[in-house]
Amino acid sequence: MLQAEGRIRVVVERVRPEVDCGAFPAQRIVGESVVVEADIFADSSDMVAGELLYRHARTEDWLRLPMKPLGNDRWRGAFPVSELGRYLYTVEGWIDRFGAWRNAMVKRISSGQDVRTDCLIGAKLVEDAASRAPNEDAAKLRQWAAAVRQGSQQAALDQDLAATVQRYPDRRFAARYGKELCLIGDRDKAAFSTWYEMFPRSCSSAPARYGTLRDCEARLPYIAEMGFDVLYLPPIHPIGHTFRKGKNNEAAAAPNDVGSPWAIGSEGGGHTSIDPRLGALEDFDRLVANARTRDIEVALDLAFQCSPDHPYVREHPEWFRARPDGTIQYAENPPKKYQDIFPFDFETPHWRQLWEELKRVVLFWIGHGVRIFRVDNPHTKALAFWEWTIAEIKEEHPDVLFLAEAFTRPKLMYRFAKLGFSQSYTYFTWRNTKHELTEYFRELTETNLREFFRPNLWPNTPDILPEFLQTGGRPAFAIRVILAATMGANYGIYGPAFELGENTPREPGSEEYLNSEKYELKHWDINSRWSLKDLIARLNRIRRENPALHNMGNLRFHETDNPEVICYSKTSGDLSDIVIVICNLDARHTQTGWVTLDLASLGLDASRTFQAHDLLGEGRYLWHGPRNYFDLAAESLPAHIMKVRKWVRTERDFDYYL
């Protein structure tokens, strides 16, 4: 079967970034430049040219940018992400007849050949370009064409002529990549954020009193002083009574037990209501507004599940799965049973109505100033639902961000990012050794995952008290928060449990907290002398002040001769900000040894001295060459966070540090 146009001779393939053959969008931040590469080539040795085409999805006209050859038929271009939302991009290539003619002319003229006929050929190419150009450039091109036709070698090789012709190429037989690829432009906080999780009901100043949103508001200065810019609240909705869980997840609740906030819904309302013990909707609006004055955003938990007392259960029983005895199926993870939670049935014949209602819940809270949602267990809901919901929400509110709490299988975690989740929890929580951390973070930063998957690192959560924190004492908490804050651009802690070193498991081998805050009120002594709040505040100040720590794709590992110590660096794009972290991974012992830096990756001259300023301990060291000594005491500061200051000699032989 004949092609529609058999004169197209150029091939465009292997365009990057491309996620799953173009099925899903890549992700970038507004203000970033998207580097696009492609293979562009043709039969024979004819020259080709290429352009990068891009447009915001709400516009129809393509913007074009030239691509430059990298060698071996690989080409590169870049376009800016200047606003929020969805972008489309693709690549075109065509035979560059004028470029080939000009290159040949240079060779012919330098070898003294007769080029009169070649000038006639070139003049025709210039005239063709004039026919495609607007009036002013068309006139200039015709003048050049006349000079070239008269045999002017100077005109033929004129740089301005070449630049002008290239602006009006002959694209009649251009080849376009077979797909229009997609990219999502998000706001800065999608790539760089610092989360603090806190239960409002445990914010009371009195030990036995149920905390309120006003108490939560009073805690804002404490959170701001530590440098967090996202305050994440577990569900703030009414809590069910039927099958309410007692302390430590006991099946039978005592009369005064407060229940799990994730058992959502009672006679007081459902997902668009607030637990009356916390306050009213006006109190929530006030909290959001006052947090904003401290540069803190309030993030809400999006837990799409119901207690047996939720109004949905009575009004829409068709949204839940019935068992043979007529009762509704509660949540299970055998042998565990969660009788206080009914999951939605995403295979219900009434799935369209269910989807629309859950979308309405998100829009309700957006209407009350929420722009960040932490999604509870997204892997227990339909993938198609999330793809639709996130696309619908971001079409109208492109600044909204979604964090996936998906501690599940890797491929499923990555699928959520492809579907539109802005960030995701990770396995960092269980990666402790140098080998584990290095291998895992290389996977996150050096593979195609970096095009769409934004990790958010959490050392602990209300559900997870890792063994390292259970057994390592205060140094373990310091080590893990230093790693989370410097390896990741997004990180969070569950507090005040984290800064106060809560580390008692429910039983040996369990990752559940003893007397978990999920099931009871807690009273935290946030002014404890034991607290890590000062270290956390310093870490977050270091993060804010160093652009190198604002993204994750620049993470590079460096060699150490001690398996208990990890070393890595981050740099700004122009290498003006260089941060090197050396961290002791042993919570019990001092570790010493030597680090060998890859100076070339840091833009450092191996023959020059540079100053390493420890931003944690405030020490200053003069380092020369790649190999340098470290001594890290677990009990004091288990890490160096070194800001590199280059040693520069001026024309007057005066030395100083950049």
What digits encode the pLDDT tens for the residues 257-308? 999 999 999 999 999 999 999 999 999 999 999 999 999 999 999 999 999 9
| CA 570 vs CA 302, 482, 543, 553: distances in Å | 33, 14, 11, 9
What is the number of residues in the chain? 658
pLDDT band at 397 (very low <50, low <70, confident <90, very high): very high
Chain segment 510-542, per-residue pLDDT in tens: 999 999 999 999 999 999 999 999 999 999 999
Kindly report, residue by residue over 243-260, the tens digit of the pLDDT: 999 999 999 999 999 999
* Cβ atoms within 10 Å, residue 651: 5
Tokens 């150029």 identify what position? 10
pLDDT greater than 90 at residue 144: yes
Q: The tokens 């956390």 sit on which residue?
A: 536
What pLDDT, on a 0 to 100 scale, did the predictor assign at position 653? 41
Average pLDDT over residues 16-22: 97
75-87 pLDDT, tens digit each: 999 999 999 999 9
* Tokens 């310091």, residue located: 478
Q: From CA 140, how far away is CA 158, in angstroms rounded? A: 12
pLDDT at res. 592: 97
Decide if pLDDT at 240 tops 50.
yes
What pLDDT score was predicted for residue 657? 45
Q: Measuring CA to CA, how many Å separate 552 from each of 490, 549, 637? A: 9, 7, 24
Q: What percent of the chain has pLDDT over 70?
A: 98
Phi, psi of 390 (to 5 degrees): -65, -40
- Note the pLDDT of residue 208: 87
Mean pLDDT of 400-405: 98
Q: Looking at the annotation, which residues are catalytic?
A: 376, 405
Asked whether residue 20 carries a pLDDT value surpassing 90, the answer given is: yes
The answer to whether residues 230 and 372 touch, using CB atoms and an 8 Å cutoff, is: yes
pLDDT band at 1 (very low <50, low <70, confident <90, very high): low
Amino acid symbol at 305: Q
Report DSSP state, residue 506: S
- pLDDT of 656 > 70? The answer is no
Q: Are 216 and 490 in contact (CB under 8 A)?
A: no
Structure confidence at residue 2 as a pLDDT band (50, 70, 90): low
Q: What's the CA angle centered on 529, arms 525 and 531, to 5 degrees?
A: 70
Q: Which of 221, 230, 227, 218 has its CA nearest to residue 286? A: 218
pLDDT digit string (tens) for 355-384? 999 999 999 999 999 999 999 999 999 999
Contact 533, 226 (CB under 8 A): yes
Per-residue pLDDT tens for 559-569?
999 999 999 99
Q: Which of 165, 167, 170, 120 is nearest to 7 (CA)?
A: 170
Q: Which domains does the chain have, with CATH numbers?
A: 1-95+174-186 (2.60.40.10), 97-168 (1.20.58.80), 193-549 (3.20.20.80), 550-657 (2.60.40.1180)
Q: What is this structure's pTM?
A: 0.94
Residue 611: both structure tokens together:
């100053």
Burial 461-471 (b: 16+ CB within 10 A, else e): bbebbbebbbe
DSSP class of residue 632 equals E
